[in-house]
Amino acid sequence: MNSFDSKAPAGDLAQKWSKHKAAIKVVSPANKRKLDIIVVGTGLGGASAAASLAELGYNVKVFCIQDSPRRAHSIAAQGGINAAKNYQNDNDSVYRLFYDTIKGGDYRAREANVYRLAEVSNLIIDQCVAQGVPFAREYGGLLDNRSFGGAQVSRTFYARGQTGQQLLLGAYAALNRNIGLGRVKSYPRHEMLDVVLIDGEARGIIARNLVTGEIERHGAHAVVIASGGYGNVFFLSTNAMNSNGSAAWQCYKKGAFFANPCYTQIHPTCIPKHGDQQSKLTLMSESLRNDGRIWVPKKLEDVKKLRAKQIKPSDIAEEDRDYYLERRYPAFGNLVPRDVASRAAKERCDAGFGVNETGLAVFLDFKSAIERLGKDVIKARYGNLFQMYEKITDTNPYEQPMQIFPAVHYTMGGIWVDYNLMTTIPGLYAIGEANFSDHGANRLGASALMQGLADGYFVLPYTIGDYLSRHIQDKKVDVSNPAFDEAEKAVIDKINKIFSIKGKQTVDDLHKKLGNIMWEYVGMARDEAGLKKAIEEIKELRAEFWKDVYVPGKEGDFNPEIEKAVRLADFLEIGELMARDALNRNESCGGHFRVEYQTEEGEAKRDDENYNYVAAWQYNGSDAEPTLHKEMLNFEYIKVAQRNYKD
């Protein structure tokens, strides 16, 4: 295929998806029963896709690292899911959701994909209500909405602070129904270690049974990657410990282009790091910014007293508080997009106003909301989040403000896909956070759940048929094919090589070193010298890993350490590509902030003349530089402008 034929249909924006569905080919019900599809991952994207494909009649195999599909990391999402229902009658629309998403992503996303996402968003809510998802409701029984960053309308549907869990339970129930009917075969505690290509097309995977250590071969007529993002390259992130980029990375090494790897979302509302032995960070939902106000003291003497625990935050008078987001961005206030809020917090902390002992925290305060609405209302909206915060910090957020600081949360980059969600490898699809497609350089809050369910329920089930319609005469994939032999041997050799090193450093020791490099040089602020240094240091750390890592135990057993080691080997390569992509992009946009390219007011400064493209990288070997391909972005329906959240 033409690497950059996005297959986005021509014509009016609002008609593109309808016309495309009418034009692509379909597979008859009788022929669907002949076709096998592998889905890797059971988060909202993977679970919804597997359930939908099985309902259509395909034979589906679904793989997840967790001991149950319902433990996928989507379950950790808190705040909500966007849809353009306009239930609040506040002038929302499909176009407004489309516009907010493009603008929030700093004009670095494909128009056709984003409009389709906004268009199908309303169907998602209907689907989930029908499944029994317990969305919050108003007094009269109608579904409630709340606000999220980057929008001036209330379009976020939610189930208290556990929206991801409730949505995943809905998709999991649909998936379980099809497992029970025999349409889906589930493989929990399995990890994909390679994708198998036959005649250049995806025809299966090599997976490791994480309980027995056995290496398995699985064939299919198409493979769907729904394995999430690669944020754990930073070691500390809000992601679950098992979250990793390995499945997507193996696709890249087999020829699938990897797009925009440098676009990393730093979430502004996380509990600050508390020590060197910490293994992950805890997210506090963006929904808290609906009623919580973010501030630091205006006076440095108050900051010093706070750090010395001579005063409490509540002792600081209202006139001595700097509500800096409200000051800098009056139109959006505390609900600016995540990248903007994160950089603003960093700026205040860099200026010396950080409120905890490390100087890396700001306050999220509910004092005004409690006075205005009453404690019971706040408890009904955010009670489980407040409870979680108190358990972790031993501070009652009803009485004292929360302390928050930005942390790695989501990766907008991922496998490049066309309008059909197919990668540059025929028969290989990527959905949800595993692909790059719908968020540009920054994801608006409550849009991850929207994209995962849109891809799984309402896009992939249509588009995959266009490819499979040309393969209905194909026989079942023979896993004794030499391509499976070659892929399995490569996986086993890699594992054996790691075991044979018998060095002195643990996987976690080396991963923490990588995380420190990434956060220091490829984190919230980047510059040319730092990125060049990061590339060199990561190369040195890769050599150190292959020379000095120690993995106890042996292959063929339950062994979490070899799991982590194999993933770290991939993270070391992913981190280098992220730094290389950031070095190449001489502009600031969204989650990519190059300090050389900013306005006088410290805002991101894009270069639309030279960087208005998707950067898609092609693998050329472990020691060779990758090739950069550019998918130019053409904006026909939106006027590209400097992002403005001030008025």
What tens digit of pLDDT does each residue of 500-527 get?
Answer: 999 999 999 999 999 999 999 999 999 9
Whether pLDDT at 1 is above 50: no
Check residue 555 and give its pLDDT. 76
Residue ranges of alpha helices (H) inside 254-350 are: 300-307, 324-328, 338-348
Handedness of CA 420, 424, 429, 431 (dihedral sign): negative
Q: Are 273 and 236 in contact (CB under 8 A)?
A: yes
Q: pLDDT for 417-473, tens place per residue? A: 999 999 999 999 999 999 999 999 999 999 999 999 999 999 999 999 999 999 999
The mean pLDDT of 277-304, rounded to a whole number, is: 95
Q: What domains sit in the chain, N to C, each tagged with a CATH number?
A: 267-409 (3.90.700.10), 482-610 (1.20.58.100)
Q: How far apart are CA 227 and CA 224, in angstroms?
A: 9
Tell me the pLDDT tens digit for each residue of 246-260. 999 999 999 999 999
H-helix or E-strand spanning residue 605: none
Q: What residues form DSSP beta bridges with 39? A: 62, 224
Other CB atoms within 10 A of residue 162 CB: 20
Determine the average pLDDT of the residues in 283-303: 96
pLDDT at 622 over 90: no
pLDDT at residue 647, as a whole number: 79
Mean pLDDT for 14-41 is 97
What are the tokens at 78? 């808190």
- Kindly state the helix (H) or strand (E) to which residue 117 belongs, with its residue range: helix 111-131
Question: For residue 625, what is the DSSP state?
Answer: P
User: Could you report the per-residue pLDDT of 345-355, keeping only the tens digit for each?
Assistant: 999 999 999 99
- What per-residue confidence (pLDDT) applies to 623? 86
Q: Is residue 419 within 8 Å of 109, Cβ to Cβ? A: no
Residue 603 β-bridge partners: none
- Over pLDDT 70: what percentage of the chain? 100
208 within 8 A of 218, measured Cβ to Cβ: no
- Decide if 112 contacts 46 (C-beta within 8 A): no
Question: pLDDT tens-digit profile of 393-409?
Answer: 999 999 999 999 999 99
Return d(Cα 229, Cα 436) in angstroms, integer.
10
The string of pLDDT tens digits covering residues 149-169 is: 999 999 999 999 999 999 999
Looking at the predicted structure, is the pLDDT value of residue 560 above 80? yes
Structure tokens at 485: 């032999």
pLDDT in tens, 58-91: 999 999 999 999 999 999 999 999 999 999 999 9
Q: Assign 218 to helix, strand or coil.
A: strand
- Among all chains, which residue has been given the structure tokens 């606000």? 147
CA distances from 559 to 236, 349, 556 (A): 22, 41, 8
- Counting DSSP H helices and E strands in the chain, the numbers are 19, 19
Of 43-57, 289-303, 441-455, 553-567, the one with minimum mean pLDDT is 553-567
Partners of residue 627 on adjacent β-strands = 618
Give residue 60's pLDDT.
Answer: 98
Crossing angle (nearest 10°) for helices 507-521 and 560-584: 20
* Rounded (10°) angle between helices 528-548 and 507-521: 170
Dihedral class, residue 216 (left if φ above 0, else alpha if ψ from -120 to 50, else beta): beta
Question: What is the pLDDT averaged over residues 299-308?
Answer: 96
Average pLDDT score over residue span 130-144? 94
d(CA 382, CA 592): 31
Write out 41-104 in H/E/C secondary structure: CCCHHHHHHHHHHHHHCCEEEEECCCCCHHHCHHHHCCCCEECCCCCCCCCCCHHHHHHHHHHH
H or E segment and range at residue 616: strand 613-618
* CA 309 – CA 302 distance, rounded (Å): 10
Q: Are 576 and 262 in contact (CB under 8 A)?
A: no
Q: pLDDT at position 557, please?
A: 81
Catalytic residue set: 338
pLDDT score, position 556: 76
- The span from the CA of 456 to the CA of 146, in Å, is 25
Whether the per-residue pLDDT at 599 is higher than 50: the answer is: yes
Would you mind telling me the total number of residues written for the chain in this entry?
A: 647
**Element of type H or E holding 202:** strand 201-209
pTM of the complete model beyond 0.95: yes
- All residues at 6 or more sequence positions from 190 whose CB lies less than 8 Å from its CB, including other chains: 63, 64, 65, 207, 208, 209, 210, 216
If residue 471 lies in a helix (H) or strand (E), which one and from where to where? none
Strands 321-322 vs 222-225: parallel, antiparallel or unpaired: unpaired
Cα–Cα distance measured from residue 449 to residue 157, given in angstroms and rounded to the nearest whole number = 11
Say how many Å lie between the first and final Cα of the chain, rounded: 45
Q: Residue 149 is which amino acid?
A: G
**pLDDT for 124:** 98
Look up residue 427 and give its amino acid.
Answer: G
For residue 39, give the nearest of 443, 486, 452 by alpha carbon.
452
Q: Contact, 86 vs 133, CB < 8 A?
A: no
